[in-house]
Amino acid sequence: MNIYDIANRANVSIATVSRVINNSPKVSEKTRKKVLDIVDELGFTPNVFARGLGLNTMKTIGILCSDPSDIYVARALSYFEKMLRENGYDSLLCCSGYDTKNLKKYINILISKSVDAVIMIGSKYISSRDNKSLIRNTAKSLPILLINGFLNGENIYCSYYDDFNASKKCVNMLYDTGKRNLLFLYNSTSQSAKRKLDGFIKGCKESANLGNNFAALLCEENNIESILISLKQFTKENFIPDGIIAGDDFLAMIALKFAKQNSISVPENLAIIGYDNSIFSKVSYPELTTVDSKLFELCSHSVKTLLEVFDGQLPKKITILEPAVIERDTFKSKT
Amino acid sequence: MNIYDIANRANVSIATVSRVINNSPKVSEKTRKKVLDIVDELGFTPNVFARGLGLNTMKTIGILCSDPSDIYVARALSYFEKMLRENGYDSLLCCSGYDTKNLKKYINILISKSVDAVIMIGSKYISSRDNKSLIRNTAKSLPILLINGFLNGENIYCSYYDDFNASKKCVNMLYDTGKRNLLFLYNSTSQSAKRKLDGFIKGCKESANLGNNFAALLCEENNIESILISLKQFTKENFIPDGIIAGDDFLAMIALKFAKQNSISVPENLAIIGYDNSIFSKVSYPELTTVDSKLFELCSHSVKTLLEVFDGQLPKKITILEPAVIERDTFKSKT
DNA sequence: CTGTTAGCGCTTTCAC
DNA sequence: GTGAAAGCGCTAACAG
């Protein structure tokens, strides 16, 4: 069934049918109704390929992410799909895994599907010089949205939260409750992780004046066992922290596990602060104190920006949100 | 830039270019190379709409799920996207939320995008009579894959794991270690949840002969606070369980939290068994004993089936996998 | 092995 | 307010 069948049945031309389908104002109410009735009766849906061929758009957004089974990515995905659909856009999922080398391959896939824009979740992709110029280049043909990452360039829109400040703030809060041996636990070298690390170091060096009693532990192998081993080894070889800031709630959970396994009382002898205010932080016992990274706000702001771009407006290219510390059980600023 | 430009530059016809692009064997190596060189040089990508218009396929699979921020869905999604992409298919994401009433709307969206098949994650959709006939009807025009759900019908392929037996087995295992007051905790009335419940009841009634010392608690509001309150109220009004089987690891985590809050020792005074062998089960302390629901196997089997269908074969329509209990800390069959 | 050509279904000028 | 017709870029049947 196609537009011709409808036209025949309604005794109008295909042009008229097309106009009705696309809500063109220059159709009389009478013909509009006549056509619409037949469309409903036959359950006609216009062929997207034919339409796409003419308009060269499929109302589809490509979403590029590492892995949707990551709890942070999953949440972003959930928000995006919902908000995009509400605005008439489909989501084409493209998962690159954790290796950022083959960004080009995945961008090509999305381009070849003629998506209307690309949303990149996570700051991993902006790592290398090559990737940066690749992204800038891609942005020449379609808008690119960076979630939690920053890259300046034409047609590139970034939004992230100020994790540098968040980390610094956490250090100060820990210091204020008497913690003097701080550890930053992280498992990624993404832009965002670096900002957190920098904020941590800055806080330790300047505000808190901790001397050498702070360190950062990078867990290269991202599985629970290895991370626990790393922690054990670190505390043996260096110092035993009384405060841990973890790059995300998953790591914070492992820090908590470490504490329990070694009968360290939390938060009395070890305070733990996670990142992301994820389900982990609420399901655990004691519950995690965590930095709310404002993911929902980030996503909804990005969709708003995207719609403005499609609408021909020129929205702000960079948006930075202020995170907030959610105090629960693993650290309390007032004791 | 299109196929004509390439044809011009290569001094061949568009048909030849098309053949080269599609790896047709009937092109001489010489012309193939000539064309390919120009394609590379100009960075030409064939227009998917035009191709779709002719072939009426976009090599895209629609994935219908409730919400990718659900940990189980997220994992399935991750597996599917990867395996489908490896076989040249894109994934169009379509999230319906937890209300199964408007299945029709979402199926229409996918159909209107001319996906080549629909994968439905979760058994929620097969609830009502309307939905069943809707699915059967949709299957007339494209193959439908049900993950963890069952519905017989032409062109419908189901795979799920035997959660009836799994629950029954769990009951027996609990009984064997002396547990006599069993609670089944669940938050969904999906097919899968019902199978688990039925297995639980069957196990309690027949194998274990527990008398009336078993119960099932349905938590309608799926948030941690409400579930904790439900648990508290249940134990006050009924009996205090010494064994809990939870419909998924999330619920098991909450059961664990309940135990800790009330200083009930796990597994000595309360054994807990979750479902899905998710990240929750490994991140918690003590670690959760859980039923491995074989999600990866389910997904990879489904993709294999799908490819066979596309290939014109007639694969088995129903596949049932045998789950396994992963013993960790919250329950041990040998003490 | 290669070229010609007729669609695929829709949008959009341009006439009327 | 409506219709006729020219594409949009590609595939595949057919002819050579």
- Shortest CA to C1' contact from A32: nucleotide: D1
Measure CB to CB from residue A69 to each of B74, B108, B256 and give the nearest one: B74
CA distance B162 to B164: 5
The predicted structure's pLDDT at residue A106: 94
Residue A70 lies in a domain: yes
In this structure, what CATH number is given to the domain that contains residue B116? 3.40.50.2300
pLDDT of res. B208: 65
pLDDT digits (tens, 9 = 90+) for A53-77: 888 788 899 999 999 999 999 999 9
Residues A95, A36 share a domain: no
- pLDDT tens profile B37-87: 999 998 888 888 888 888 878 889 999 999 999 999 999 999 999 999 999
Instruction: Identify whether residues A44 and A85 lie together within a single domain.
Output: no
Token pair 């920053």 in the structure block, residue:
A150
Contact between A163 and A199 (Cβ < 8 Å)? yes
Angle at B265 between CA B261 and CA B271, to 5 degrees: 105
CA–CA min distance A56, chain B (Å): 8
Closest CA to B164 of B197, B126, B125: B197
Q: Express each pLDDT in B259-314 by its tens digit.
A: 999 999 999 999 999 999 999 999 999 999 999 999 999 999 999 999 999 888 89
- Are B194 and B228 within one domain? yes
Residue B328 lies in a domain: no
Closest C-alpha among B184, B199, B178, B196 to residue B252: B184
Residue A329 is assigned to a structural domain of this protein: no
Give the chain B residue nearest A46 (alpha carbons).
B112
Buried b (16+ CB within 10 A) or exposed e, A100-125: beebeebbebbbebbbbbbbbbbbbb
In this structure, the answer to whether residues A14 and A124 fall within a common structural domain is: no
pLDDT at A296 (0 to 100): 97
Q: List CB contacts (< 8 A) between B260 and chain A.
A: 285
B330 lies in some domain: no
Predicted pLDDT at B56:
79
Same domain assignment for residues A196 and A131: no
Q: What is the mean pLDDT of chain B?
A: 93
Domain count for chain A, please give it: 3
DSSP A39-93: HHHHT----HHHHHHHHS--SEEEEEES-TTSHHHHHHHHHHHHHHHHTT-EEEE
- Does A93 touch chain B if contact means CB atoms closer than 8 Å? yes
Task: Please give residues of chain A from 34 to 53 whose alpha-adjacent beta carbon (CB) lies under 7 Å from any atom of strand D.
Answer: 50, 53
Nearest to A74 among B56, B69, B92 (CB): B69
Q: How confident is the model at residue A319 (pLDDT cuts 50, 70, 90)?
A: very high
Query: Rounded CA gap, A313 and B174, in Å?
Result: 63
Q: State whether the beta carbon of A12 lies below 7 angstroms from any atom of strand C.
A: no
A288 and A301 belong to one structural domain: no
Closest by CA position to A108, among listed A122, A96, A99: A96
Question: B93: Cβ under 7 Å from strand D?
Answer: no
For residues B168 and B289, state if they share a domain. yes
* pTM for this entry: 0.93
Q: Inter-chain contact A47–B75, Cβ cutoff 8 Å? A: no
Q: How far is A264 from chain B (nearest CA, A)?
A: 13
Range of the domain at B289: 163-293
Surface of B (229-258) touching A: CB under 8 A: 250, 253-254, 256-257
Q: In whole angstroms, what is the distance from residue B195 CA to residue B200 CA?
A: 8
Instruction: Indicate whether A42 and A72 sit together in one domain.
Output: no
In the 8-state DSSP scheme, what is residue A331? -
Nearest-CA distance from B46 to chain A in Å?
7
Answer whether B68 sits within 8 Å of A74, measured CB to CB: yes
Per CB-CB distance under 8 Å, the chain A contacts of B95 are 78, 81-82, 85
Distance from C-alpha of B239 to C-alpha of B211, rounded to nearest angstrom: 13
User: Are residues A70 and A155 located together in one domain of the fold?
Assistant: yes
Tokens of A6: 């409808």
Mean pLDDT across chain A, nearest whole number?
A: 93
CB B93 within 8 A of CB A93: yes
C-alpha–C-alpha distance, residues A52 and B144, integer Å: 25
Residues A40 and A70 in one domain: no
| Assigned domain for A146 exists | yes
Residue B241, preceding bond cis, omega within 30 degrees?
A: no
Q: Can you tell me which residue has the tokens 């992280």?
A: A186
State residue B300 phi and psi, 5-degree precision. Answer: -70, -35
Measure, in angstroms, how far nucleotide D7 C1' is from residue B91 CA.
31
Task: Decide: B195 and B163 in contact? Cβ < 8 Å.
Answer: yes
Q: Does B69 touch chain A (CB under 8 A)?
A: yes
- What residues of chain A lie within 8 A of the CB of B111, using their CB? 45
Any idea what the CATH number is for the domain that residue A16 is in? Answer: 1.10.260.40
Q: Kindly report the nearest CA distance between residue B26 and chain A, in angstroms.
A: 25
Residue-wise pLDDT tens digits, B189-241: 999 999 999 999 999 998 767 777 899 999 999 899 999 999 999 999 999 99
Same domain, A289 and A142: no
Asked, for residue A71, whether it belongs to a domain, the answer is yes
B335, part of any domain? no
Q: Is A36 exposed, middle or buried (0-12, 13-18, 19+ CB in 10 A)?
A: middle
Distance A259 CA to C10 C1' (A): 64
Q: Which residues of A touch B118 (CB under 8 A)?
A: none
Two tokens at B133?
């006939």
pLDDT of A24 reads: 87
CA dihedral B43, B44, B49, B55 (to 10 degrees): -130
A179 with A271, same domain: the answer is yes
Tell me: the pLDDT tens digits for B135-145? 999 998 899 99
The dihedral built from the CA positions of residue B36, B39, B45 and B51, taken in this order, carries a sign that is negative
A98 touches strand C (CB under 7 A): no
How large is the average pLDDT for residues B156-184?
95
Distance B306 CA to D12 C1' (A): 26
Closest CA to A243 of A167, A182, A168: A182
- Residue A332 in any domain: the answer is no
pLDDT band at A225; cut points 50, 70, 90: very high
Give per-residue burial for A54-77: e unless 16+ CB within 10 Å, then b. eeeebbbbbbbbbbbbbbbbbbbb
> DSSP letter at A128?
S
Q: Using the CB atom, is residue A112 less than 7 Å from strand D?
A: no
Q: Which of residues 127-186 of B touch A (CB under 8 A)?
A: none
Q: Is B5:B16 a contact under the CB 8 Å cutoff?
A: no
CA A283 to centroid of chain Cα atoms:
22
Nearest to B111 among A45, A50, A97 (CB): A45
